[in-house]
Each structure stands twice: as structure tokens, then as C-alpha cells.
Structure 1
Amino acid sequence: MDSNMYLETILNKYAPRSLDSYTLNILLLKSDLQKWASSCYISILNSGSRAKGTAISIASDVDYLISLTSDCNANNGGLKSIYDSLYNHLRTKYNPVRKQNVSFRIKIGNLEVDITPARKQSGNTNDHWLYVSKQDTWKQTNIQKHINDISGSGRLNEIKLLKIWRELNGLDFPSIYLEYLSISSLSGKSKDASKLSDNFIFLLRELAKDTNNPLNSRIVDPANSNNILSDLLTATEKKAIISKAKTSCGKQYWKDIVW
């Protein structure tokens, strides 16, 4: 089996699961979230890897963004109070509820669901404000632009393989940062499917570099130049990625890099 065929088997192995058996559970979840949002509710958006085409079975299965009105809780604690309110509400329904940087993770059976509360900016825009718990602040972003950029990048398989590699190695590497870093690093490389293995090992070698490593470059959210994606990881977390990339690049066979 050649390198590209092997990597295709890995992509198939970790293909996202079908949601057919969870249809009712998801409908009930969305109904409950709408009730929680009450008069602030606008919509619930598919916001993550499924919408972008980069979903894998060993990361979160479903991602939803709850779009809320621009004035929601404006005089009652703002975005932080929205974040805390949703957390407390979810805890009454699900156990455990895991706090993440801008979202919460719950489990419905074996299905992992990430839920992000966001306040939509006023006017004809897809821009939203998110509460960032690690920094106790808020940021503006545009989920729809992310979906358009990533899904149309021509790099979906390389991104999925890097996400699989991340999960197998237990690395902290936020998907939005990983996705835009991959696209940037692979600019100028062929998008032909026959180059998949070449492109993926190129990515790993880039992440293993001691100098000119893309992890040390400034990666900016194209939806908001004030949102620096490369700041989502600490220097220590980046060193862990570099160390694992060095180890992987030293392996002779693909089965020892992704399996």
C-alpha cells in the first residue's frame, strides 16, 4: 500500500459518525437552548468542523453557536453573564459539562457536542461577540467567514490528518488556529489528491522546525485583525507540538505517525 492509500484509510477510519440515531436528541437540545435564550434568541448555527468539512470522529462530533440579540444582557453583566448562565443551565440537564475557552462540551450518550453562546452585532452582518473565559474578555469574530474560508481552501484532507495527529498525540491545538496555519503553510503546494502524503509530511516538517517554524509566526483571524489566533497557545504548548512533530518526522513508516 502506498503512502496516499494508507492516509486515505486513516481518513476513512476517523470519518465523522452519522448523526441519524441522534436526530431526536439534537432536536430536544436545540429546543431547550432556545427556551434558555428566551427573548434573546435569534438562531442556532452549525459552527464547527462539520460545517467546514474537517470533522473527524475522535474530536467533538457537533458544534453549535447560539446566536443572541446584540443587546442581550447588556445591562446585566454582558457576555460573561451569558456564558455563566448557559453553563449553569446545562449543568441542570447534563453531566458533566466541560468549560472550554469560548464553549461548553456536553455528551449525549457517546455524542460530544460543543455549544458556544454568542451575541450578534447589530445590522446586516454575521459578526458575533464571544466571551473568552481563559482571558476573561470578549472577542469579535465571524463564524460564517471561517466556514467559507476553510471549506473552500482545498486543504480539507491535510487539515483532517493534522487534527487526527493532534488527537492521537494528546496535543492542545485549537482547530481554528490549526486550520488557518495549515492553509498558510501549504500555500504554493499542489492541491492534487496525489500529493496528500507529500503535503502532510511537509506540514509536520514545518511544525518540527527550530527556525522559521509557522508556530512562531503571527496568524491573524481574517474575520477580525485584532484576534490573534497564534496567541491561543502558550509558548509551552507550542513547544509540545514541536516536540511531537520532531518525533513523528523521525519515524520511517506512516503507521508510526498516524494509526
Structure 2
Amino acid sequence: MSTNKNEYLKKVLDTHDINKVEDLSKFIEKKNKVKDALNKKFSDQKASNSIDSGSYAKNTAINTKFDIDCCIPFKKKTPGNNDEKGFESLSEMFDEVYKYLKNEYTKEDGDISKDNVRKQKVSIGLKFDIDGEEFDMDVVPGRERPNNNDYNDSNTDLSLYINPSNRSKKEEDEGKTRIKTNIKTHIGLLNGADRTHERKVTKLLKVWKTERKKKNGGKLIKSFMMELYTKEAFDNTDEIPNGLWEKTRLVMIHIIDNIETSNLVDPANSSNIVSDSMSETAKTQTKRDMKNTIKDVEDDSDKIKEYFPINEEFDNEDDSNSNSSSKASVLSTSKFG
């Protein structure tokens, strides 16, 4: 008997629901503790309180890999003006947050050691051990732009520092050390009731990517790119198809048609070509794997189970109790990149 693709994908989404994670409340509590500590430490320099970011804030997280991250916006100090608070230099801003988290915060929090605070590309990575469960969190320092005291409800643009040791080859060749972004714009891309289907497809593509990497390794499409391509595919089609599989197929075809030939632009920064962050090899592998997925599933509906596996940890089909949150979770909060 062939698999009902749409009903099956509903089950995939259900078993990957982040709210089924037993320790989710502990991770959120830890995230809030970090935010409060940053707000207190940098009370004079911050442009606003720390804000949520990452896939959890976007409501596109799945429970096998997800982000519970934060961004702290800082004031921009005008050079030579000692009356202003904030940071003149982006590298100073980045290093001060890193030094605080590594040397001071770890003394206050028994769930993390100095060795588990690390510099990443635009963030500081934290790895906690909370009652035996690993929890990864990124703290992104950003500075208001263009000038001092310009961060407000109508202007939330930020400059991020690019850590030199994590720059791409293109960034290194161009001597790039900063990037403009807008966390709130990114969070709003797939937000709202009218973007429910886009969020579902994004989650399914994350399940697909996780399984492809698990089986084949290599580098595949970044999560942020999947979000942008999903939005593009839905916005550019004349008619949204019915059914989860047809919607997912629509986006995959859009990615296949564009990933190697078209620039994908950051909606928060028109000069940032997001697709440049992927190597040509990664683009080619993503395109090939998506084409194979569509062909195999269209030829044999049962193949959908291989490309979009359910999370068996939360599959309660044969469990009379069917309380998924009572189970301990197999959890990785490693980032999608």
C-alpha cells in the first residue's frame, strides 16, 4: 500500500515539534538568564535589552536541531565624544562581550565552563550542560547604525563584527570585517498567520537537510537560505498547491532552478548576497540531492520516509499513554549555519 505523502508529512512535523522537548523550559530559562546578565553588565552601553533571535524566535525550529539564541544591540559611540556610551569599534564590542561571558559569566553559572565559550563568525557560542543535557546558545553582539542613539522602534538596523578567523574566502579577499543586518526583519520574514505554510515547509526542509547530512555528509544549503527561498517560491507562484508534499516540492523546484544561477539577497541588506556564503560544491550537491528526492518520491511514495524521517523519539502511534513530553529527548541544539 502506497504512502499518503501529505498525511505522512503531517506526522513528520508532529514528531519534530519543538514543544515536545522535555527540557525546553530549562533551555528557555537559561537563555533568559544569559539575556538578563548581558543587560545588567552592559546597561550603559546597550541600545536596547537583548532580543531573541535564531530559529526558535522565527518559529521554524525542529526538535532534532534548533537555536535558542539572542542578540544584544549596542550604542555606537562617536569617536572622541567621551560623553557618549557604547563602542567606537566593532571588534572592541565583540571582544568585550566574549571576555565577559568567558571570564565573568562562567563564574556565576555552574552549567558552563570557560572552555565552552568560543568565538564564532559573528557570535559568541556557549555550550551548557544542564542536568546532563547539552544546550548550545549563540550570543550575537550588534551595534546600532548609522549613528549614536539611532536604534529605535523604526530603525533596528545593526552592524555585526566578522571574526577574521571565521571569514569566508571571499570576505577575506575583500577584507570584509563587518556586515549590516536586521534581526527583527529576519524574524518577521515568515511571521504571522498568513505564513503558516511557509514555516511548515521550512521545518520539513530542515528535516530533509538533517537526514541528508547524516547519511551523506558534505555541505548543504544553509537554513537562512531555505527560509528565503521558501518565501520567494510562495510569493512568486500564481497558485499555491494543496498538500504538504506539493508545497515542499514547489520550494525544492524553486531552489533547484535558482541555487546555482541567481543571487539570493538579504532582505535586511541589499549588498549582502546570502548565496555567496555557500560554495559552488555545496550548491551543486544541494541541487542534485533535491532533484533525486523529488524523482524518487514521485516514482515511489514510500521513499518519502527515507528523505523525511519521523523523529521516533516522539512517535507515540503505538503508545497507549501517548504523552510525548514524558519521554527524555535525544537533543542536539547544534546550529544549521
TM range (shorter): 0.7 to 0.9
* 2:229–2:251 Cα contact (<8 Å) kept: no
2:26 aligned residue: 21
Q: 1:182 aligns with which of 212, 230, 247?
A: 230
TM-score norm. by structure 2 comes to: 0.67
**2:49 is the counterpart of 1:51:** no
**1:91-121 superposed Cα distances (whole Å, 9 cap, x missing partner):** 4434433544322332223222122111122
1:5 aligned residue: 7
Cα distance, 1:104–1:167 mapped onto 2, change above 3 Å: farther
CA RMSD of aligned residues (A): 2.4
Q: What is the CA–CA distance in structure 2 between the aligned matches of 1:114 and 1:143, rounded to whole Å?
A: 13
2:221 aligned residue: 173
TM-score norm. by structure 1 comes to: 0.85
2:181 aligned residue: 141
Quick one: percent identity of the two aligned structures?
A: 27
Cα distance, 1:22–1:149 mapped onto 2, change above 3 Å: closer
Aligned-residue offset at 1:215: 4.3
Q: 2:101 aligns with which of 67, 90, 96?
A: 90
**1:128-182 superposed Cα distances (whole Å, 9 cap, x missing partner):** 1112331342111211122222214341111111122122223443322221112
Aligned-residue offset at 1:30: 2.0
Q: What is the CA–CA distance in structure 2 between the aligned matches of 1:243 and 1:99, rounded to whole Å?
A: 33
**Residue identity matched to 2:237:** G
2:125 aligned residue: 105
**1:23-72 superposed Cα distances (whole Å, 9 cap, x missing partner):** 54334322332344352123110122222221112223302111111223
Q: What is the CA–CA distance in structure 1 between the aligned matches of 2:124 and 2:211, rounded to whole Å?
A: 22
Q: What is the number of residues matched between the two proteins?
A: 252
2:277 aligned residue: 232
Question: How do 1:147-158 and structure 2 match up within 5 A?
Answer: 147-152=187-192, 153-154=195-196, 155-158=198-201
**Residue identity matched to 2:159:** W
Deviates more, 1:92-101 or 1:220-229: 92-101
**2:294 is the counterpart of 1:249:** yes
- Paired residue secondary structure (1:151): coil
**1:168-222 superposed Cα distances (whole Å, 9 cap, x missing partner):** 2234433222211121123316557x42110112333444x4xx43443111122
**2:156 is the counterpart of 1:126:** yes
**2:81 is the counterpart of 1:79:** no
Q: Which structure carries more strand by proportion?
A: 1
Structure 2, unpaired ranges of 5+:
78-85, 107-111, 214-218, 310-337
* Larger RCO: 1 or 2 (CA < 8 Å, sep 6+): 2
**Residue identity matched to 1:174:** K
Q: What is the CA–CA distance in structure 2 between the aligned matches of 1:24 and 1:203, rounded to whole Å?
A: 35
Q: What is the CA–CA distance in structure 2 between the aligned matches of 1:88 and 1:216, rounded to whole Å?
A: 42
